Amino acid sequence: MANLGGTFSLGGEVPVTRMGYGAMQLAGPGVWGPPRDHDTAVAVLREAVESGVTHIDTSDYYGPHTVNAVLKEALHPYPESLTIVTKVGARRTPDKAWPPALSADELTRAVHDNLRSLGVDALDVVNLRLGNAAGDYPVRMSLAEPFGVLAELRQQGLIKHLGVSHVTAEQLDEAKAIAPVVCVQNQYNLAHRENDDLVDKCAAEGIAFVPYFPLGGFSPLQSDILDDCAARVGATPMQVALAWLLQRSSSMLLIPGTSSLEHLRENLAAASLELPADVLADLDRIGAA
């Protein structure tokens, strides 16, 4: 577990463990409200960092606000080695929806909300997440205006590095023309391979690719092929799914989330799992299907 998949340097400057932790599941049901078990949520965060994790993903719209509050309680003052990545571009409404929030005022307010709730003077990395009410991918829009807002906040010293989320290769190039991009966060896992070309593009350009829903998200991965491969290597199906991602690209960073100490340990252990060629070939059949 100790190596956590090795490290990758964001922007060539900030080394982070390739196996990280995603904090979204620390919120209550529907990513709304406080954790079901506050003390366990704190314990999960502390054990992740004590185990060597140096990359935590969060957002002030998880809860909203509650996940960042738990992060601050558990880990502040943060270790110098820890990189906290947050995201903006959406907001929460009383009906628990996630409408886009991409205006200059909304993005500026979101950055300041994250600064305040995390208790920091500058955010390590901020991802601009594109979206619309229908949840479409790709989102047919230019990101120049909203990304330009974040680039200006970076110039002001409120953000150290920028990333993008839920984007196409063309939108990534558009963002790179405005300011350096250190990571792309898109949906990607064994079964959802629409971003295969973007994974390769990021690796070629030294940009981290961070798959959200690496284990399927709200609909966990289910596959007889995956179950068979897991049995052959003596691991759980979810460990195999994570190990496949780490072996898929050297610039892949993982942020599996959990509110369970047991599942946290299982996820971290997946970083030490080396999948043989025959297993990799069989797993690739899932995406092809």
C-alpha to C-alpha distances, 44 to 82, 105, 114, 287, nearest whole angstrom:
15, 34, 21, 31
Q: ∠ CA 288-133-22 to the nearest 5 degrees?
A: 60
Of the candidates 21, 62, 78, 212, the residue annotated as catalytic is: 62
Q: Which one, of 180, 158, 62, 170, lies nearest residue 107 by Cα?
A: 158
Q: 212 an active-site residue?
A: no
Residues acting as catalytic residues = 62
